Amino acid sequence: MLNLLKQNIAKHVALSDGELDEFCHLFHIKTVKKKEFLLREGEVCKFEGFVAKGLFRLYHVDQNGLEQVLYFAMENWWITDIDSFTNEKPSQLFIEALEDSEVLLISKKDKEFAYTNLPKIEKLFRVMTQKTHVALQRRMIDNLGKTADQRYLDFIGKYPELYQRLSNLQIAAYLGISHEFLSKIRKKIVGHQ
């Protein structure tokens, strides 16, 4: 499990074996069963997590009771409520396991320790934050400028392995459309093939 984390880190920054081991040992493993929550709205997020096995969804419930999925996180992806984690304020989000999962968690205190004692770790999180900002910006532009059909096709093209693990309801919540509308889109696409 730590090997997957080490490989992920190596994609972003070069650390010595000693630095890598020291940083990875700041994480603890948590097993989360399908439909269990890693975080609930109103709780303060006390972790950043690296998904070693399984699948999570990070979502918000709006004033009408509709779920709005911000993103999914499967193996080799990171997950947190960055606002709650950073500002130590109650979360507006839920993080739920969609499959039996294992996640490696690091606390804010241990992350700060790493920043102080392993300076390259700040670069790691800076690079990852920049990539996250780019992805969020692209998603916002897509949501503003593309039709639901285009967003659906982009999603299945960009995340084919994720798409196969999700229900239509979950995909619709991510795309910001109703389950019924997604069914119409799928029928239309099948009809054009």
> Is 68 inside any structural domain?
yes
Q: What is the CA radius of gyration of the chain?
A: 18
How many angstroms separate the CA atoms of 58 and 146, rounded?
A: 23
- 41: domain range? 2-119
> Is 145 inside any structural domain?
no
> Is 103 inside any structural domain?
yes
Query: pLDDT, tens digit, for every residue of 68-127?
Result: 999 999 999 999 999 999 999 999 999 999 999 999 999 999 999 999 999 899 999 999
How many angstroms separate the CA atoms of 90 and 42, rounded?
A: 5
How many angstroms separate the CA atoms of 26 and 86, rounded?
A: 18
Query: pLDDT, tens digit, for every residue of 18-74?
Result: 999 999 999 999 999 999 999 999 999 999 999 999 999 999 999 999 899 999 999
> Is 6 inside any structural domain?
yes
> Is 163 inside any structural domain?
no
Rounded (5°) CA angle 69-49-67: 15
> Is 21 inside any structural domain?
yes
φ, ψ of residue 51 to 5 degrees: the values are: -80, 115
> Is 171 inside any structural domain?
no
> Is 146 inside any structural domain?
no
Q: Starting at the edge strand that comes first in sequence, how are the strands of the sheet with 28-32 ordered?
A: 28-32, 101-106, 48-53, 78-79
CATH number, domain of 46, equals 2.60.120.10
Q: What is the pLDDT of residue 34?
A: 98
Count the domains in the chain. 1
Q: Is the pTM value of this prediction over 0.85?
A: yes
Distances in Å between the alpha carbon of 50 and those of 34, 81, 142, 181?
Answer: 17, 13, 26, 33
